């Protein structure tokens, strides 16, 4: 709701909320990025909705590498509604690479003790409407090459927020392999695939790729079983 109110206020040329000024100042780092407890979510949403005002865009690009996970995740959830520029996109991409290089998604803390996969998912959300979709595609490809790409939250975020990247053949193949390998099992595979099946233009390429994976013998026994069960379920409906 915070983003909704921020976007509507911007479109109607209304003033931002009372929390905007403090949030904008927080992102400059003047008060210390650790002082995020006093920053309201509505203020963060207002800043994200007003990237074209003052120096908000450049300020966020400089702040992103230094933000603790809580305000960072909140910012990304607001940025997913905005067409961010290349500077913010690049900063998010760098933050993602840092998270990927610092261990596994389950036990490798980044900043204040949160698993790297949470940061990866946040970055993908933040990049989803980037003006430079190539940065998003690179981010997803890097993620799928990493152990974080086997995390169900990350995979669900890609499917829900960045599905357009699955139009790329190599990305689609890597995504499906990771999804079949995900330790969340058959239920997660079926649910995520069911959602993707309804996206115009994706159903046929996804099914073609699944059959290609089975024919290529590049899947483990467990992956093959998950894919086969999903394909069989389609035939019964």
What 3-state class would DSSP assign to 65? helix
Q: Looking at the domain assignment, is residue 64 inside a domain?
A: yes
Q: Looking at the domain assignment, is residue 5 inside a domain?
A: yes
Could you give the percent of the chain with pLDDT greater than 70?
94
Q: Looking at the domain assignment, is residue 84 inside a domain?
A: no
Residue range 103-110: mean pLDDT, rounded: 42
Find the largest Cα–Cα distance for the chain.
60
Please name the helix (run of DSSP H) or strand (run of DSSP E) that holds residue 110, with its range, or none.
strand 109-110
Q: Looking at the domain assignment, is residue 14 inside a domain?
A: yes
Instruction: Give residue 41's domain range.
Output: 1-79
Position 235 scores a pLDDT of 82
- Residue 218: pLDDT band with limits 50, 70, 90: confident
Contact between 96 and 64 (Cβ < 8 Å): no
Q: How many domains does the chain have?
A: 1
Does the pTM of the predicted model rise above 0.95? no
Q: Looking at the domain assignment, is residue 33 inside a domain?
A: yes
Contact between 133 and 162 (Cβ < 8 Å): no
Position 115 scores a pLDDT of 64
Residue with tokens 């019964």: 236
Q: Looking at the domain assignment, is residue 199 inside a domain?
A: no
Q: Looking at the domain assignment, is residue 142 inside a domain?
A: no
Q: Looking at the domain assignment, is residue 206 inside a domain?
A: no
- Residue 111: pLDDT band with limits 50, 70, 90: very low
Please name the helix (run of DSSP H) or strand (run of DSSP E) that holds residue 143, with its range, or none.
helix 133-144
Cα separation values, 228 from 23, 107, 172, 199, 231, Å: 50, 31, 18, 21, 5
Please name the helix (run of DSSP H) or strand (run of DSSP E) that holds residue 115, with its range, or none.
strand 114-115
**DSSP state at residue 18:** T
Residue range 51-72: mean pLDDT, rounded: 96
């Amino acid at each position: 709701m915070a983003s909704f109110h921020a976007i509507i206020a911007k479109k109607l040329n209304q003033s931002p909320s009372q929390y905007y000024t403090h949030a904008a100042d927080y992102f400059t780092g003047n008060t210390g990025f650790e002082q995020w407890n006093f920053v309201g979510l509505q203020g963060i949403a207002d800043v994200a909705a007003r990237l074209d005002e003052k120096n908000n865009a450049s300020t966020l690009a400089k702040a992103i590498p230094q933000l603790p996970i809580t305000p960072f995740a909140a910012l990304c959830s607001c940025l997913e509604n905005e067409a961010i520029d290349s500077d913010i996109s690049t900063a998010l991409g760098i933050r993602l690479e840092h998270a990927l290089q610092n261990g596994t998604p389950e036990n490798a803390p980044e900043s204040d003790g949160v698993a790297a996969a949470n940061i990866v998912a946040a970055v993908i959300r933040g990049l989803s409407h980037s003006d430079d979709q190539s940065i998003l595609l690179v981010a997803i490809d890097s993620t799928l090459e990493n152990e974080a790409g086997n995390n169900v939250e990350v995979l669900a975020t890609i499917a829900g927020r960045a599905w357009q990247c699955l139009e790329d053949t190599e990305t689609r193949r890597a995504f499906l392999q990771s999804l079949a390998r995900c330790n969340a099992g058959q239920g997660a595979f079926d649910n995520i695939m069911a959602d993707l099946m309804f996206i115009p233009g994706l159903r046929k390429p996804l099914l073609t790729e699944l059959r290609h994976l089975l024919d290529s013998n590049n899947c483990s026994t467990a992956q093959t079983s998950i894919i086969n069960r999903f394909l069989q379920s389609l035939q019964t409906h």
